[in-house]
Copies of this chain bind each other. A is one copy, B any other.
Amino acid sequence: MVTRSFRTSHSLPTISHVAEEAKVSRATVSRAFSQPHLLSRETVELVRAVAERLGYVPNHTARALSTGRAGNIALVVPDITNAFFASLMRGAQAKARDQGYATFLGDSDETPELEDILLTRLSAQVEGFILVSSRLPKERILEHAQRRPFILVNRDVAQLPRLLIDTGPSYATAVEHLASLGHRSIAYVAGPILSWSNRQRHAAVAKTARKLGLSLVRIATSRPSFEAGLACTDELLGAGVTAALAFDDVMAQGIMAGLAGRELAVPADFSVVGCDGVLATTTYPPLTSVETRCALAGERAVELLLEGLQGKAPRSRSISLPTELVIRATTAPPGISVRPGANVDGPTPSRHAPMERT
């Protein structure tokens, strides 16, 4: 036998085979599956029996081409491995499946270029897009949105329906929380510059810090990753602050690891706040974090998209999802004052300093 790849391709039975065998027209076979109420009970049963015997299943691709409805949606995110996006995708995919839709997955690797390729490539097979934390310029998003319905998540383009996870107020609360603990000098460890969420969070922190008379340092990073959080620890300590608000939980975790590696205890020596709530309970000590219910956001986004697809009620163009600061165990009054330049000579993970709580 010649090895011919495993495409043991047997041509599947088509609507014509069934029609011939059942001695009805192809239209009747079609109706027996898509509009059975238009047919007599007997005909439906006959056709289905024949189809069953022949092993016929309606061809989804052909149906999609004919009706224009693919029964698919696409979910495009900057990074699947980020727990926030993973949770969101999980919620979205489950909801879509419940509604009979299949979901394409797109990981843009945080780059606008790949995002653009994915959006283009997928547009013909998909009824609509859920575009999460897009790094694309507004104009380009609008161009894509001209081709297919879009729901934006965490990106604020006035012309398009969007779901905005409103972390601003919670970041403001977090700053107030730190201030009330006695912190006077804090840092915001920034996320991607192209991220709407990052701008919102930074703005909220800056405004509140100003209001309360706190000094604020902004620390730039390459990418919202554990490594980036870890890598900015020196800069953080050098800045002479006593607390950091990170762009997200992943970075917060990196910062905590960096601090631990420098024998600094959290929260006794340094306070840390994260965002998303995806990792918050898995760190030790548990992370004080802005909770976002990201899985729910994924579900809501799918609901919005499918409602629009089915031409339901006029949906609101911008939906805001509230968040909440959950205070766990990484924030406390500034303890040992961190002197600029101290303890910044690299990781020494041999010993974990004891940490006190309140």
Contacts and interface: CB of A to CB of B under 8 A. Distances in A.
Interface of A: 3-7, 9-10, 12, 55, 57-62, 64-65, 68, 70, 72, 75, 79-81, 83, 86-87, 89-90, 93-94, 97, 102-107, 109, 114, 117-118, 120-125, 143, 146-149, 161, 226, 253-254, 256-257, 260-261, 265, 281-286, 308-314, 329, 349-357
A349 B105 contact: no
Contacts of A6: 149, 161, 308
Task: Give the copy number.
Answer: 2
Contacts of A352: 265, 284-285, 352, 354-355
B107 A104 contact: no
A157 to B, nearest CB: 14
Contacts of A148: 10
B286 A75 contact: no
The 7 closest A-B pairs by CB, nearest first: A5-B311, A105-B105, A3-B314, A60-B124, A59-B124, A81-B86, A260-B284
B349 A285 contact: yes
Contacts of A123: 12, 57
A354 B354 contact: yes
A265 B350 CA distance: 12
B97 A10 contact: no
A4 to B, nearest CB: 6
- In this complex, the member of A6, A70, A123, A310 whose beta carbon has the largest number of chain B beta carbons within 10 angstroms is A6
Given A57-B123, A226-B282, A104 B106 contact: no
A57 B120 CA distance: 7
A7 B149 contact: yes
Contacts of A64: 61, 125
- In this complex, the member of A65, A68, A124, A311 whose beta carbon has the largest number of chain B beta carbons within 10 angstroms is A124
Contacts of A308: 5-7
Contact of A107 (B60, B62, B90, B350): B90
Contacts of A284: 256-257, 260-261, 284, 349, 352
Nearest to A313: B3
Contact of A65 (B61, B161, B285): B61
B282 A147 contact: no
A75 B147 contact: no
A80 B75 contact: no
B104 A103 contact: yes
A332 B204 CA distance: 45
Nearest to A311: B5
15 contacts: A5-B312, A7-B311, A10-B148, A12-B147, A60-B121, A61-B64, A75-B105, A81-B87, A90-B107, A103-B104, A103-B105, A105-B105, A257-B283, A261-B284, A349-B357
A118 B105 contact: no
Contacts of A121: 57, 60, 97, 102
Contacts of A87: 81
Given A57-B120, A349-B357, A352-B352, 18 more contacts: A3-B314, A7-B309, A7-B311, A57-B121, A60-B121, A62-B124, A81-B90, A89-B107, A94-B107, A104-B105, A105-B105, A226-B281, A254-B282, A260-B285, A285-B349, A286-B349, A351-B355, A354-B354
